[in-house]
Structure 1
Amino acid sequence: MKKSVLRTSTLGVALAMTLAACGGGNDEQTEETTEATVEEQVDEPTDVEETESEEATEDVEEETEDTEATDETDEDTTEDGDATPSEGGTPVEINAELTDPETGDTITIVSALRDVPSERDASYIEDGGEVVYLEISIEAGDQFGGAIGTNDFYILYDGEEDRAKGTLRDEISAQGLEPLETFARRDGSSGNLWVAFTVEGERADTYTGAYIRPETEILGEDEVLPEFRGEFTIPAP
């Protein structure tokens, strides 16, 4: 499957043209509107502002008391063992850095969680498989647009490459982690995000993981970026 990207310089020209087209306006009308708005604000009664301020202060105090009560309740629930833990599974360190020479993207595989509980894929776990979470961060290059998504990450087992499963995003979020959905290169740095895999056969001691950017066309140019593949090892817990 081939992707398509656009150079950021082309995006910049399009944005500049759009801004230029929207820049016109009536300066005199803007000044008159601004003056009228200021006069209306000055004419407002002072006692109304003081009343609104007092009401806002009372609301903040009530919200603070409600928040403190909720926090105490959550802490009690966690101590009793009834709340969902912030993390599940066994953590393992990876710290593999993969740099795409064509796009300038750097993908860091920070760590993994092995044997993660899963309600959705519990049947695979019962049959000897497991759910694995990967913690990743992205530092995007500045040459191209486009995005990096869940479908660009793979795990190798039983001789097959299986993509990360976007269907487990809700379970990732339920554990207090931020799932990768689609990260736009224009956003620069992603922070730490998570993707999930379900091993549907027998779990292994170690796995080979991969980030794969497929062969990519540059829109508007007669040039194709070759596929980039970066591999890493997911160690045993």
Structure 2
Amino acid sequence: MPFYSDGDLTGRIWNMRCDDYRLLMMDDLYDEISSEDKERLNDHLKTCTGCREKYRTLRATAGRLKQWEDIEPHMKLTFVHQPASRFADFFQSLKAWKLPTRLAVCAAAGLFLLSLFNTRIQYANGQFSFQASLFKSGPEIPAAQLATKTDLDDLRRENYQMVATILDEYAKRNKIETAVMFEKFYDELEKQRKNDLYVLSNAVEQIQTGTSRRLEQTDRTLGSLIQYVNLQNRGR
């Protein structure tokens, strides 16, 4: 949709489409929009009913997500392995959810995984660092992989496109109730966590057993070698 600047007496035209204004919506949501782009966005929202409705929905959804609290993982749970097809069926049914439901599930899953893996994200000196571990680590160690500003811009644009797609899908699909599907998804995550912890505990136990056996074998070998050397010294 062409944009006419109110302050330009020559009637200059800004060749921007609704998709471009949706990117400005995201900038405005994160308070990263310039004053000039803010003015353009406001003028466009006055004339475009579709974008205005999407903008209101985005602001309302973001406000609800900010009210969510971080949830610490239950470390005493054990995981039970489930076939991958169940998750495939779940994500297939995700397309039929309402927008608030899908955003809530994504936010909950993200917070859950971040808390589970003790994730640390830092940005310093123009570089982005990411660190995650199953158990809490000791002294802080710099992350091995660093992303450039270009990578962050690309990721940000992909996120913008994903949000725009979600907003489009929201107008088409609104049939599945939020509470029941979210509870099922949470149960699947709990079962997977139990199974993973069970597998991890077995692996640690096997490693400890193998290490003990190797140490015993080494002790016996060293004892035999010492005994042999002593016999040789006596023979002299």
Do both proteins adopt the same fold according to a TM-score greater than 0.5, normalized to the shorter chain?
no
When you count strand as a share of all residues, which structure comes out higher?
1
- What's the TM-score once normalised by structure 1's chain length? 0.21
- What's the TM-score once normalised by structure 2's chain length? 0.21
